Chains A and B, each alone.
Chain A
Amino acid sequence: DAGVIQSPRHEVTEMGQEVTLRCKPISGHDYLFWYRQTMMRGLELLIYFNNNVPIDDSGMPEDRFSAKMPNASFSTLKIQPSEPRDSAVYFCASSLSTGVGNEQFFGPGTRLTVL
C-alpha cells in the first residue's frame, strides 16, 4: 500500500481565498483523522471520521473550517475564507480501528501558507 496520500504538499494562497486539502487513507482503514501542526500549539486533532461519518469535530477551530468524507477512500478539509493564522501543516492519518493496539499512520502533510 502507498500509505496515506495527501495533496497538495504545499499551498500558498492569499487571505480570503478558499483552500481545499485532500486525503486518501490507507485502503481498508475505517478511521480517518485530520490534524494541524503549528509552532505555538504543536499537533492538534481537528476532526475524525469512522466509516465516513464525522465522529468528533470539537477540534475544528471555527466555522470557516469544514471537512467531508464522501467515500471510504477520500476526504477533504476546506477553509473558507482563509486567514493568515491558518498557516500550518495539516496532516491526515488513518487507522484500521481504534482502541488498544490500533496504530495511526500519517500522511506527509500539506504545508499551508496564507498571505
Chain B
Amino acid sequence: KQEVTQIPAALSVPEGENLVLNCSFTDSAIYNLQWFRQDPGKGLTSLLLIQSSQREQTSGRLNASLDKSSGRSTLYIAASQPGDSATYLCAVIAHTDKLIFGTGTRLQVFP
C-alpha cells in the first residue's frame, strides 16, 4: 500500500530564505508526482507535475525534483515571500489512477 510522508509538518521562516520541503513515498512504481498548494479554507492549486521519467520541473521560484528509485521528492522555494504562506501537499499516482496525498507541510513566511 502506497504511503506518502511529508516533513517537516510545519515551517516558519523569515522572508527571503530559500526553502526545501520533503516528500517521500513507499512504492516507487508511480506515474507522476504532483505538488499542490492549499490556502486556508480554499481548494488545491497544482504547482508542478513531474512525470516518472523526469528528474525535475521548474516554475518561477519553484523547483521540484524526483528521485523515484529512492522514493523521494523535494520542493525548493527560492527567495520566499509572505505570499508563499500556505500548506504544500505532494501526491503520487500510479496504475490505480488514484492520487495518494501526503499530510502536508504548513509554511509560514513572515516579513
Q: What is the interface of chain A, defined by CB distance below 8 A to chain B? A: 31, 33, 35, 42-45, 48, 55-56, 59, 91, 93, 98-109, 111
Question: Can you list 13 A-B pairs with a CB-CB distance of less than 8 A?
Answer: A42-B102, A42-B103, A43-B101, A91-B43, A98-B97, A99-B31, A100-B31, A101-B32, A103-B34, A103-B46, A104-B93, A106-B45, A106-B46
A interface secondary structure, majority: strand
User: What residues of chain B lie closer than 8 Å to A42, measured between beta carbons?
Assistant: 101-104
- The answer to whether B98 and A104 have CB atoms under 8 Å apart is no
B99 in contact (CB, < 8 A): yes
Contact B103 A104 (CB under 8 A): no
- Taking CB atoms, residues of chain A closer than 8 Å to B75 are none
| CB-defined contacts of B36 to chain A, threshold 8 Å | 106
Contact check, A106 vs B44: say whether CB atoms are below 8 A apart.
yes
A contact residues around B97 at 8 Å (CB): 31, 48, 55-56, 98-99
Evaluate contact between A48 and B46: CB separation under 8 angstroms. no
A-B contact count (CB 8 A): 61
CA distance A99 to B53 in the complex (A): 12
> What bracket does the count of chain B residues touching chain A fall in?
20 to 34
B63 in the interface (beta carbon within 8 A): no
Bound: A33/B22 CA distance, A = 26
Closest beta carbon of chain B to A47's beta carbon, Å:
10
CB-CB nearest in chain A for B103 = A42
Q: A103-B49, A104-B99 are in contact. List 15 more A-B contacts (CB 8 A).
A: A42-B101, A42-B104, A43-B89, A55-B97, A59-B98, A93-B44, A101-B32, A101-B49, A103-B46, A104-B34, A104-B46, A106-B36, A106-B43, A107-B43, A109-B43
